[in-house]
């Protein structure tokens, strides 16, 4: 049976997904891997473990349905950073997108006035979230790394680049525009690695890969134990841009929210970037033809991982799915608000030093109120981002498409619709990150956008039911809670 293979390199797991020619999922295999926390604010991944999980997932899939693979595509956690030698050996663990170790360097860069330069070239805020300061840290903290990099012996890649390098036995050293646009050293307007930014971050240009469209022949896998033949890699995209395309939101103003480990709100800006409010970022969407597509993005760092925290750290629930039944056991959160700033706050605050808090506790509060408050916290943070996005822009958002694991929570989707006062549309197949890669692979196999629309499936809708007075009261309580979490110089 012929199929398209999508590798989804997530933050905590690697998955292999097989799509048939009609876009139906034939099989999914998955292996989880742990995040490493060697110090406060440090978040890393053991690349041997990541690769092992990836290869196991691919092997399991092939054992299930065979190896008649048409082509392969990759969706990946984005800003996570790897520096490796030309033999493919990493000089250190991968530094996760969640890692905040470089917050002081980011503060120093802002004090030196680089924030405007970087924003004007990359569309990004200076923040530890992005790859550039992680590269700097690796080059300046791993013995001999900077010297080796200057000699041309070290390479940098996000996870997609590193995986393609390994799968091709070093023959492919490339990335796509979506991943490049998350590094803080790629000029999204001139479409090149930016020499001025490379000088600021002291990064040799020889470390950098070729940047390609998202739908592109990147090269071929080598004959490895998991592949008995060379397989063309025809699609690569950062997970969030892939999910936007997975909904086929290709028109200006169309918006999606992905509820994954983090929560990511992306709006299509079209072929020309707009003037957007400070503290939101502009990035590149998937490129499947000769046109560039711009996207506005706001990021909530803790979404699904907040539910995981309730389960693993507090023991309030046994499964993520249980969070919905807990929330429905109480009429409201009884005034409890949670601000999950465990690794700082993303858009619209960009406060690397913010700390997580739970406030509004009284002796009437039980675990169900806290679980409900956690689900509501995710929705409040989405509201922050959407308010900023729609301010002073020339488009209106009337409905939003959602995907990701937590979007299956009916309580949370209804609360999201209520607090946004917008229609929420959830596809029957919430697997939109890998769907976006399948669509890119299909386009390279002769499909058209109209063909893809016929494969997009059905959606169900959640409509706002909350009255305005209740909504305003809840949001005012949230705003008071946020002020308590922000550091003094960032308070609003």
Q: Are 262 and 166 spatial neighbours (Cβ–Cβ below 8 Å)?
A: no
When pLDDT is cut at 50, 70 and 90, the band that residue 68 belongs to is very high
Q: What is the pLDDT of residue 398?
A: 83
> Domain holding 134: CATH number?
3.30.420.40
Query: Of how many residues is the chain composed?
Result: 492
Mind listing the pLDDT tens digit for each residue in 31-47?
999 899 999 889 999 99
Is the N-terminal amide bond of 348 cis, ω within 30° of 0? yes
Neighbours of 483 (CB within 10 A): 12
The mean pLDDT of 274-287, rounded to a whole number, is 79
Q: What is the pLDDT of residue 491?
A: 46
| One-character DSSP codes across 183-207 | SSSEETTTTEE-HHHHHHHT--GGG
Mind listing the pLDDT tens digit for each residue in 198-217?
999 999 999 999 999 999 99
The mean pLDDT of 112-134, rounded to a whole number, is 93
Q: Are 490 and 349 spatial neighbours (Cβ–Cβ below 8 Å)?
A: yes
| Strand pairing category for 69-76 and 232-238 | parallel
Using DSSP's 3-state secondary structure scheme, residue 156 falls into: strand
Dihedral sign of CA atoms 147, 152, 158, 159 in order: negative
Any domain includes 129: yes
Any domain includes 446: no
The mean pLDDT of 183-192, rounded to a whole number, is 96
Tokens read off for 29: 């295999």
In the chain, what percentage of residues exceed pLDDT 70? 97
Any domain includes 297: no
Any domain includes 348: no
Residue 492 has pLDDT above 50, yes or no: no
The mean pLDDT of 39-58, rounded to a whole number, is 94
Mind listing the pLDDT tens digit for each residue in 406-450?
889 999 999 999 999 999 999 988 888 999 999 999 999 999 999
Q: What is the pLDDT of residue 279?
A: 67
Neighbours of 222 (CB within 10 A): 15
Mind listing the pLDDT tens digit for each residue in 330-372?
999 999 999 988 877 776 777 877 888 999 999 999 999 999 9
Q: What is the pLDDT of residue 221?
A: 95
Query: Which residue has tokens 């890669």?
Result: 437
Residue 70 has pLDDT above 90, yes or no: yes
Of 184, 168, 304, 298, nearest in space to 236 by CA: 168
Q: What is the pLDDT of residue 490?
A: 47
Any domain includes 141: yes
- Chain centroid to Cα 148, Å, comes to 31
In whole angstroms, give the CA distance from residue 424 to residue 462. 5
Burial 372-383 (b: 16+ CB within 10 A, else e): bbbbbbbbbbbb
Any domain includes 425: no
Query: Which residue has tokens 């803790």?
Result: 302
Residue 276 has pLDDT above 90, yes or no: no
Q: What is the pLDDT of residue 487?
A: 77
Mean pLDDT of the chain: 91
Domain, as residue range, for 21: 3-240
Mind listing the pLDDT tens digit for each residue in 5-22?
999 998 889 999 999 998
Any domain includes 48: yes
Of 31, 200, 13, 1, nearest in space to 116 by CA: 200
Residue 464 has pLDDT above 90, yes or no: yes
Give the CA diameter of the chain.
64
Any domain includes 436: no
In whole angstroms, give the CA distance from residue 168 to residue 161. 11
Q: Number of folded domains in the chain?
A: 1
Q: What is the pLDDT of residue 429?
A: 85
Q: What is the pLDDT of residue 264?
A: 87
Residue 395 has pLDDT above 80, yes or no: no
When pLDDT is cut at 50, 70 and 90, the band that residue 192 belongs to is very high
């Amino acid at each position: 049976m012929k199929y398209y293979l999508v590798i989804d390199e997530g933050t905590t797991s690697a998955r292999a997904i097989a799509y048939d020619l009609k876009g139906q999922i034939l099989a999914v295999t998955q292996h989880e891997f742990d995040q490493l926390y060697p110090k406060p604010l440090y978040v890393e991944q053991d690349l041997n473990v990541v690769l092992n999980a990836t290869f196991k997932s691919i092997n399991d899939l092939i054992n299930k349905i065979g190896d008649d693979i048409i082509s392969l595509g990759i969706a990946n956690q984005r800003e996570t950073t790897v520096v490796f030698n030309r033999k493919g050996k990493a000089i250190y663990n991968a530094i996760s997108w969640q890692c905040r170790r470089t917050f002081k360097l980011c503060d120093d860069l802002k004090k030196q006035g680089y924030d405007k330069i970087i924003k004007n070239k990359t569309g990004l805020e200076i923040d530890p979230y992005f790859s550039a300061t992680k590269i700097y840290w690796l080059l300046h903290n791993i013995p001999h790394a900077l010297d080796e990099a200057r000699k041309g012996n070290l390479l940098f890649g996000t996870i997609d680049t590193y995986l393609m390098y390994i799968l091709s036995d070093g023959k492919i050293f490339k990335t796509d525009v979506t991943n490049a646009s998350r590094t803080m050293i790629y000029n999204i307007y001139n479409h090149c690695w930016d020499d001025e930014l490379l000088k600021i971050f002291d990064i040799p240009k020889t470390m950098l890969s070729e940047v390609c469209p998202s739908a592109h022949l990147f090269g071929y896998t080598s004959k490895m134990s998991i592949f008995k033949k060379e397989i063309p890699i025809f699609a690569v995209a950062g997970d969030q841009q892939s999910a936007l395309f997975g909904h086929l939101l290709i028109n200006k103003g169309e918006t999606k929210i992905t509820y994954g480990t983090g929560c990511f709100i992306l709006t299509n800006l079209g072929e020309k970037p707009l003037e957007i409010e400070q503290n939101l970022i502009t990035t590149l969407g998937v490129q499947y033809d000769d046109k560039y597509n711009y996207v506005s993005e706001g990021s909530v760092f803790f979404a699904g991982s907040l539910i995981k925290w309730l389960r693993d750290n507090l023991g309030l629930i046994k499964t993520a799915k249980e969070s919905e039944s807990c929330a429905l056991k109480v009429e409201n959160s009884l005034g409890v608000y949670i601000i999950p700033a465990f690794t700082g706050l993303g858009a619209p605050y960009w406060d690397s030093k913010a700390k997580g808090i739970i406030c509004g506790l009284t002796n009437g509060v039980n675990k169900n109120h806290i679980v409900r408050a956690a689900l509501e916290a995710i929705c409040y943070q989405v509201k922050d981002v959407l308010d900023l996005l729609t301010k002073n822009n020339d488009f209106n958002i009337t409905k939003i498409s959602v995907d990701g694991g937590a979007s299956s929570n009916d309580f949370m989707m209804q609360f999201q619709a209520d607090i946004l006062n917008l229609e929420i549309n959830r596809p029957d197949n919430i697997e939109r990150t890998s769907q976006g890669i399948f669509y890119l692979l299909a386009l390279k196999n002769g499909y058209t956008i109209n063909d893809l629309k016929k494969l997009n499936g059905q959606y169900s809708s959640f409509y706002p039911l909350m009255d305005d007075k209740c909504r305003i009261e809840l949001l005012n309580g949230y705003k008071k809670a946020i002020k308590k979490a922000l550091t003094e110089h960032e308070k609003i």
